Amino acid sequence: MGKHYVPQEFLRGFATTPDRSHVWLFDKKTCRWSHAAIAKVAQEPDYYAPDVERRLAIEVEAPGHRALDRLRRGETLDSSGRDAFAYYLAAMIMRVPRRRRKGEELFPKVLQSSLADTRRELAELTTEDNSERVGAMLDVLERIERDYQRQTPAFIRRELAEPWPSARTVDAIRRMTWRLVDVPRSLFLFTTDNPSFFFDSVGVGTDQSELTVPLGSNLGLLGSYQGEPGAVYRATAKAALVKEINRRIASGAERFVFSPKKASWIETLALRLNPYLSRVQ
């Protein structure tokens, strides 16, 4: 059995069976549906080191799932519960395959920018007395650039594999206004291998930030800075909002969609490139 990058307890909120053991899975790569066991999806062998898996279970998932259960039952969270759930949501952003992929894609750009800055600084410091030494340093930079362009260094990959969010991200989510929206039984939400959505261009810590997380097939969380910081509001979602939540979540799927129901419109959303996504006011 592999290591789950989306917790099983989270996925059970989208289960198709009374025992909450299975979910409908749509694979964007193969364009096929399957009725899959939750224990066998959203996981990969050796995805985490054993010590990381243990820490996730104890520090993130145990307190986070207690808070999630309360929210799914319609109960409120105390301050410690809110702190635990904010950490859980922040870790959810960090632990998924999409975050690892985007980090590896970004690394060459960061490397080139850093090397360009270093070369510029060396050029400014070059004199007749140190030109030979500076030349040797430039040779080293070129060798580093060639080596790192061929393959992302192991220490960078290890860092990208770490699921621990920064204190700043956790605090940003904790301070947001949380709107919990109940979805009518005639409609439903789904989730993916990237369960959280936010606009990449603004992140989660700015005045314009919006965080969207389906917490179950009939419950969604919308976090923003529209409203009293740290407040929690609860309302019933209209059909237009349910559609927008599903569009957002589908847009961020790396490969897999997990749904309580099989529907062709889910395929359409999942395969759509560059969808238009509205702001939620």
Are 178 and 257 part of one and the same domain? yes
Q: 190-204, pLDDT tens digit by residue?
A: 999 999 999 999 999
Give the C-alpha separation, 217 to 214, whole Å. Answer: 7
**In this structure, are residues 67 and 84 in contact, taking their beta carbons and an 8 Å threshold?**
yes
Do 75 and 29 share a structural domain? Answer: yes
- Residue 107: the pLDDT is 66
Q: Give the pLDDT score at 2.
A: 63
In the prediction, which pLDDT does 156 show?
A: 67
**What tokens appear for 176 in the block?**
């947001």
pLDDT of residue 161: 78
Could you give the dihedral angle defined by the CA atoms of residues 264, 269, 273 and 276, in that order, rounded to the nearest 10 degrees? Answer: 140
Is 277 contained in some domain? no
In 3-state terms, the chain is what percent helix, strand and coil (to 5)?
50, 15, 35
Quick one: pLDDT at residue 62?
97
Decide if 119 contacts 125 (C-beta within 8 A). no
Q: Please report the pLDDT score of residue 222 as a whole number.
A: 98
Could you give the C-alpha distances from 3 to 6, 8, 34, in angstroms and in order?
9, 10, 20
pLDDT of residue 133: 85
Minimal CA–CA distance to 196: which of 245, 241, 264, 267? 245
Whether the CB-CB separation of 211 and 199 falls below 8 Å is answered with no
Domain annotation covers residue 193: yes
Identify whether residues 111 and 71 lie together within a single domain. no
Residue 278 resides in a domain = no
Q: Which domain holds residue 214?
A: 3-95+170-271
Asked if the structure places residue 155 within a domain, the reply is: yes
**Burial annotation 1-30 (CB, 10 A radius, 16+ → b, else e):** eebbbbbbbbbbbbbbeeeeebbbbbebee
Indicate whether 217 belongs to any domain: yes
Q: Can you give the pTM of this predicted structure?
A: 0.85
- pLDDT beneath 70, residues of the chain: 1-2, 107, 110, 155-156
224 assigned to some structural domain: yes
Q: How many independent structural domains does the chain possess?
A: 2
- In the structure encoding, which two tokens stand for residue 104, read together? 């590896």
CB 43, CB 2: distance < 8 Å: yes
